[in-house]
């Protein structure tokens, strides 16, 4: 799982490195996030929802074990919230 964050949004994707294919991609810019959380949502709550949605989509594709790539971001705040939400929904890393 690769994580990328900007000032206002966070994105996560599952990549199959052997076949060079993206399995699942989720970003906080989608309509479903603004509908569920509202326009003035907390960034950490949004990251948590991204992690949950990513884990659910990964399960649908049959992926349960992953490697977490935080791309140099410190493991706190939004990155930590996303990772912990993904773990809570069943991803193992």
Residue 60's CB: how many other CB atoms inside 10 A? 9
Q: Tell how many helices (H) and how many strands (E) occur in the chain.
A: 3, 3
Model confidence at 38: pLDDT above 80:
no
Give residue 40's pLDDT.
72
Set out the domains of the chain in order of their start, with CATH numbers. 2-88 (3.30.420.100)
Alpha-carbon distance 26 to 32, whole Å? 11
Reported confidence tier of residue 37, pLDDT bands at 50, 70, 90: confident
Model confidence at 39: pLDDT above 80:
no
pLDDT, one tens digit per residue, over 53-78 is 999 999 999 999 999 999 899 999 99
Q: Closest Cα to residue 43, out of 72, 80, 87, 93?
A: 80
């Amino acid at each position: 799982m690769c994580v990328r964050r900007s000032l206002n949004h966070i994105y996560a994707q599952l990549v199959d490195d052997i076949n060079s294919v993206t399995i699942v991609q989720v970003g906080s810019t989608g309509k479903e996030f603004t509908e569920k959380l509202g326009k003035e949502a907390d960034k950490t709550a949004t990251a948590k929802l991204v992690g949950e949605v990513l884990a659910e989509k990964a399960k649908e594709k049959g992926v349960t074990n992953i490697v977490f790539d935080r791309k140099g971001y410190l493991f706190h705040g939004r990155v930590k919230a996303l990772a912990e939400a993904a773990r809570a929904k069943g991803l193992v890393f």
